[in-house]
Amino acid sequence: MTIALYPGSFDPVTYGHLDIATRALTVFDEVVMGVFDTPSKNLLFTTEERVSLIQEAIGDIPNLRVESYTKMTVAFARHINAKVIVRGLRMSPDFEREFEMALMNKKQDPEIEVLCMMSSVQYQFLSSSLMKEAAKYGGYIEDLVPEHVATALRRKLATK
């Protein structure tokens, strides 16, 4: 059984993230959406909130689960017996960043492969940061995130 890790901050999860995760399930036996607990960017949602939002979004999709982690991504991949790290690619700046991370991960553990999946066309522009900014100013986000995520996002932004 081949397990793949799809790591990220998922702050919050978008349809673009869910698209990559479900498409990865067509290639791998199991996909773990790994929610990185302490990324080097400012987060809107706590780790527990991000995990909960993803769990509700994925429902009972077979062989797709979510876990949080605090260690280095390759160490977490080894911990869950993942042989592959899945990453989504949007536009060219993503490629440069993902290429650097893939090389560093390969240096840390040569046994773990990195697979970059191209985002579906309708999600090429979508990032959590851009979506949060649109929501902050009352923009339309309903086709970018599940309904419960849009509700949680608006509630969170209203308290800031």
Q: What is the pLDDT of residues 108-126, one digit of tens each?
A: 999 999 999 999 999 988 8
Active site residue 79: no
Domain with residue 62: its CATH number is 3.40.50.620
pLDDT of residue 96: 83
Annotated active-site residue in 50, 119, 128, 132: 128
Domain around 85 = 3-158
Alpha helices in the chain (DSSP H): 15-24, 47-58, 73-79, 92-108, 128-136, 147-158
Residue 68 pLDDT more than 70?
yes
Residue 56 pLDDT more than 70?
yes
The residues, any chain, with a CB within 8 Å of residue 64's CB and separated by 6 or more, are: 21, 22, 25, 30, 31, 33, 58
Annotated active-site residue in 9, 17, 50, 87: 17
Can you tell me the distance from the alpha carbon of 94 to that of 135, in angstroms, rounded to the nearest whole number? 23
Q: What is the mean pLDDT of residues 46-70?
A: 97
Residue 40 pLDDT more than 80?
no
Active site residue 17: yes
Active site residue 155: no
Phi, psi of 36 (to 5 degrees): -70, 125
pLDDT of residue 92: 67
Active site residue 148: no
Task: Tell me if 26 sits within 8 A of 62, measured CB to CB.
Answer: no
State how far Cα 140 lies from the chain centre: 21
Strand partners, 66: 33
Annotated active-site residue in 40, 41, 92, 107: 41
Here the tokens at position 123 are 């999600």
pLDDT of residue 159: 85
Binned at pLDDT 50, 70 and 90, residue 67 comes out as very high
Q: What is the mean pLDDT of residues 6-21?
A: 96
Annotated active-site residue in 65, 83, 90, 136: 90
| Entry pTM | 0.94
Residue 93 pLDDT more than 80?
no
Q: What is the mean pLDDT of residues 1-18?
A: 96
Across the chain, mean pLDDT equals 93
Q: What is the mean pLDDT of residues 27-31?
A: 98
Domain count, the chain: 1
Per-residue pLDDT tens for 137-152? 999 999 999 999 999 9
